[in-house]
Amino acid sequence: MNKDIECILFDLDGTFADTSKDMCDALNTILTEKKFINVCCNELKLHISKGAVGIIDYASKVNGRPIDSSSIRADFLQEYSINTFVHTKMVDGISKLLGYIKKNNIKWGIVTNKHSKYVNKILEGLTIARDVKYLVTGDMLKETKPNPEGLLKAIDMAEVTAENTVYIGDDERDILAGKNAGMLTVAADFGFVGPEKDILSWNADINITNPIDLIKILAL
C-alpha cells in the first residue's frame, strides 16, 4: 500500500463495533410490547445498515404484515438510547489494527450515519472516547453517506488529504462515499454483510475479511 497513508477512517456499525445485539434487543422489546413477533438477531444484523426504517421493514417481513414505522420508530430509538451499550463490543481484530495505527503515527477516526447520542455512549463504553480525535456523526451533517460530506469533514478536522486517507466500511454506501471523497476504499467483508451481498460489485480498492488483513496490506 501507498506509504503516504496519513489517516484511516472507519464506519462504526459492523465495521468498528458489533452493535447488533443491543439494537435487536431494543427492537424486540418494542415488538413484544406491541404484540408483534420478535426477530432473529443474527438475521437482523444484515439489515442494520439500512437504519431504523430498514430494521422495522425487516420486522414487517418477519411478521408477514406491515408495521407502521412511524408508530414504533420513536419507541425503538428511545429503548435503544437507554440500552445502547449492553452487549456492544469492538469487532475482533480492530484493537490490533488500532495498535498498529498508533504505533505508526497514523491518524484515525470514525465517520458514521449514526447519531451522536448513541455513538458517544458506545465510545464511552469501549473506553476509547478520548482516543477518537476525528469523529463525524449523522446529526453533524446535511447529507449522510453515500454523500461524501462526512468524510470530507473528517479529513478537514485531521488536516490530511483525501488521496492519503483510507475509508473502511461494510456497506456499499461506505464505498461510494469514500470514492466520492477521493479516498482509498476498503470493503469490510466481516461486518453486517449477508451472503446475498456481492462486495466485489462495490468495486472497493481493497477487500478484507478481517481487520488484521489491513495491517498486512499497510505494511507492504
List 11, 13, 22, 213, catalytic entry: 11
**171 tagged catalytic:** no
Concatenated DSSP letters for 82-136?
HSSSSS-EEPTTHHHHHHHHHHTT-EEEEE-SS-HHHHHHHHHHTT-TTT--EEE
Cis peptide before 66 (omega within 30 of 0): no
**By 3-state DSSP, what share of the chain in percent is helix, strand and coil, each rounded to 5?**
50, 15, 35
Are 163 and 21 within 8 A, CB to CB? Answer: no
**Which H helix or E strand runs over 10?**
strand 7-10
Q: Which residues are catalytic?
A: 11
